């Protein structure tokens, strides 16, 4: 069989199986098994070649999964879960709300600022969107905000979790594509912050053009001193954990795996400090009144069961996503092996690079495929399907940059494209999450319309990164 028919059959059958509703990891397993039969076996029985091929696949699957490079996935997930379950994430969000004071479209800015911080801390788009939707949308609706100004920013900032480190999805992308995970994580910082800035500018422009979309209202005045204290006590310590993780990776003191584990310990220490040490210190040094005595007694009594429950829930949540990711990795490793064994991937690269089309035209084509797939597929499935094909193709094209730089650059573009696809109708995940937590009566169409301008911001950023690659690759290669 010609390589293109084989490739078409492989990709086509995977897509059909996935649309039929077969679990993604199992769909890949099915296709790989079938292809192994086709390439190595006889249909009238099991022969030695086939057995050897499946033995090799099993061995490869083991080697790819028993891999220290994927440690940051569970560690970053655990870190995010700990932030959520110990209440630290919500504490910081509340502090950001108090800090912003009186502004037109204040709550939309709170959503962007708090949401970016929340998504960064938690690394979970789902969790951040669900929490923001539950906390902010009822309040914004009560204050007369239009849907575009209440739901839109939440959908926009929710997706930032996969771009700004610590992002488990970036680690998975780095693992599947076999590129430097630390550099890919660092590369997401500047684009992530630019995107948050774009969102803030978008809100400013809309609030200026249509003041009724987000009416201003009176808020409790917080003095400058109180704001400084609030920042130092409720925001700076949380951010310092993220800064520590990023710095450890950037300066090369720790690998992403080690930095992620230290991040988890940092969150645990913060939880100790906030939930146990602070009430005790307040009681011992700031006045032994009845209130602080009660607070200290409650903290002593409740800390252990609360923390134990939060820690267990965090372990469970991290394990849940890790196991799903591992099954995906299993499918991915087999798919890459089958593609390589069939010769389809090499032939595809030769075919693609033989055209007299610019590398950028190829890049745009790949982006279009990602956006199209994102309308119907989950991000992990998209990654699994496209990474084994796109990354070798990208490596064969000439963008005027060295290969490691191109790979990181394309990795960031891919993460951004997946972020856009998170909110692309009809199956963008965050649209469904939003519908689940939005006030009753919110139509799906309204949610989609609210997401559009924020998707536009991400598209503009993708274009900027394509034309100015330094936005993504300057920081990670700075240390080199």
Interaction between residue 4 and another protein (CB under 8 A): no
Interaction between residue 24 and another protein (CB under 8 A): yes
Q: How many residues bind another protein (CB under 8 A)?
A: 70
Interaction between residue 247 and another protein (CB under 8 A): no
Question: Which ranges of 101-221 would DSSP assign to H, the alpha helix?
Answer: 106-122, 125-142, 147-158, 168-177, 181-187, 189-209
Candidate ranges 63-71, 141-149, 208-216, 341-349; the one touching another protein (CB under 8 A): 63-71
Interaction between residue 305 and another protein (CB under 8 A): no
Interaction between residue 10 and another protein (CB under 8 A): no
Q: Which residues pair with 42 in a beta bridge?
A: 45
State the minimum distance, in angstroms, from the CB of residue 337 to another protein.
14
Q: Of the candidates 156, 184, 152, which has an alpha carbon nearest to the alpha carbon of residue 169?
A: 184
Interaction between residue 377 and another protein (CB under 8 A): yes
Interaction between residue 154 and another protein (CB under 8 A): no
Q: Which residues contact 344 (CB under 8 A, 6 or more apart)?
A: 3, 4, 6, 7, 10
* DSSP helix/strand/coil, 123: coil
- For another protein, the closer of residues 24 and 249 by Cβ is 24
Interaction between residue 142 and another protein (CB under 8 A): no
The pattern of x and - marking residues 430 through 449 that bind another protein according to CB under 8 A reads --xx--xx------------
Interaction between residue 29 and another protein (CB under 8 A): yes
Residues between 90 and 129 with contacts to another protein, criterion CB under 8 A: 126-127
- For another protein, the closer of residues 316 and 474 by Cβ is 316
Q: Which residues pair with 45 in a beta bridge?
A: 42
Interaction between residue 21 and another protein (CB under 8 A): yes
- Say how far residue 351 (Cα) sits from the centre of its chain: 33
**String of b and e for 264-290 (b: at least 16 CB within 10 Å)?**
bebbbebbeebbbebbbebbeeeeeee
Candidate ranges 98-106, 194-202, 210-218, 309-317; the one touching another protein (CB under 8 A): 309-317
Interaction between residue 51 and another protein (CB under 8 A): yes
- For another protein, the closer of residues 19 and 351 by Cβ is 19
Q: What is the DSSP string of 250-297?
A: HTTSS-HHHHHHHHHHHHHHHHHIIIIIHHHHHHHHS---HHHHHHHH
Question: How far is Cα 274 from Cα 265, in angstroms, rounded to an integer?
Answer: 14
Interaction between residue 62 and another protein (CB under 8 A): yes
* DSSP helix/strand/coil, 477: coil
Question: How far is Cα 435 from Cα 444, in angstroms, rounded to an integer?
Answer: 7
State the minimum distance, in angstroms, from the CB of residue 130 to another protein.
4
- For another protein, the closer of residues 3 and 432 by Cβ is 432
Instruction: Write out the two tokens for 56.
Output: 């090799």
Interaction between residue 78 and another protein (CB under 8 A): yes
Residues between 264 and 293 with contacts to another protein, criterion CB under 8 A: 264-265
Cβ 183 vs Cβ 92: under 8 Å: no
Instruction: Write out the two tokens for 218.
Output: 């009176």
State the minimum distance, in angstroms, from the CB of residue 132 to another protein.
11
Q: Of the candidates 453, 456, 365, which has an alpha carbon nearest to the alpha carbon of residue 416?
A: 456
- For another protein, the closer of residues 338 and 381 by Cβ is 381
Residues near another protein (CB under 8 A) are 18-26, 29-30, 33, 51, 54-55, 58-59, 61-63, 65-68, 70-71, 74-75, 77-78, 126-127, 130-131, 134, 254, 257-258, 261-262, 264-265, 311-313, 315-320, 322-324, 326-328, 330, 376-378, 380-381, 426-427, 429, 432-433, 436-437
């Amino acid at each position: 069989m010609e390589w293109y028919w084989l490739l078409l059959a492989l990709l086509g059958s995977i897509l059909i199986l996935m649309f039929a509703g077969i679990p993604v990891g199992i769909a890949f397993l099915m296709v790989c098994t079938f292809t192994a039969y086709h390439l190595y076996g006889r249909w009238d029985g099991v022969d030695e070649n086939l057995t050897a091929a499946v033995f090799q696949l099993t061995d490869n699957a083991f080697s790819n999964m028993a891999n220290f490079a994927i440690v940051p996935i569970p560690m970053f997930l655990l870190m995010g879960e700990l932030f959520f379950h110990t209440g630290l994430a919500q504490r910081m969000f509340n502090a950001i709300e108090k800090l912003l004071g009186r502004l037109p479209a204040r709550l939309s800015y709170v959503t962007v600022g708090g949401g970016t911080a929340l998504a960064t801390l938690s690394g979970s788009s789902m969790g951040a969107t669900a929490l923001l939707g539950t906390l902010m949308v009822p309040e914004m609706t009560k204050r007369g905000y239009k849907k575009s100004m209440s739901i839109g920013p939440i959908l926009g900032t929710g997706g930032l979790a996969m771009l700004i480190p610590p992002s488990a999805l970036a680690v998975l992308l780095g693992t599947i594509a076999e590129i430097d995970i630390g550099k890919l994580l660092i590369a997401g910082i500047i684009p992530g912050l630019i995107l948050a800035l774009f969102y803030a500018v978008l809100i400013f422009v809309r609030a200026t053009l249509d003041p009724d979309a987000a009416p201003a209202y009176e808020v409790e005045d917080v003095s400058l001193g109180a704001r400084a204290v609030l920042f130092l006590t409720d925001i700076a310590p949380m951010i310092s954990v993220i800064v520590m993780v990023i710095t450890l990776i950037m300066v090369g003191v720790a690998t992403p795996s080690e930095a992620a584990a230290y991040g988890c310990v940092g969150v645990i220490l913060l939880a100790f400090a906030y939930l146990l040490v602070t009430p005790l210190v307040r009681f011992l040094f700031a006045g032994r009144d009845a209130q602080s005595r009660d607070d200290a007694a409650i903290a002593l009594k409740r800390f252990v069961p609360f923390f134990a429950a939060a820690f267990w829930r965090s372990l469970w949540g991290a394990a849940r996503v890790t196991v799903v990711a591992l099954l995906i990795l299993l499918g991915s490793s087999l798919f890459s092996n089958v593609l390589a064994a069939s010769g389809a991937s090499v032939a595809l690269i030769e075919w693609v690079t033989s055209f007299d089309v610019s590398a950028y035209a190829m890049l745009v084509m790949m982006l279009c495929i990602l956006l199209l797939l994102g309308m119907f597929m989950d991000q992990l499935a998209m990654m699994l399907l496209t990474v084994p094909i796109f990354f070798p193709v990208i490596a064969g094209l000439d963008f005027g940059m060295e290969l490691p730089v191109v790979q990181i650059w394309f990795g960031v573009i891919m993460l951004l494209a997946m972020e856009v696809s998170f909110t692309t109708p009809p199956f963008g995940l965050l649209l469904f999450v939003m519908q689940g937590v939005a006030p009753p009566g919110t139509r799906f169409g309204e949610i989609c319309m609210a997401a559009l301008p924020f998707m536009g911001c991400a598209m503009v950023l993708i274009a900027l990164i394509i034309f100015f690659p330094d936005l993504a690759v300057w920081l990670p290669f700075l240390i080199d």
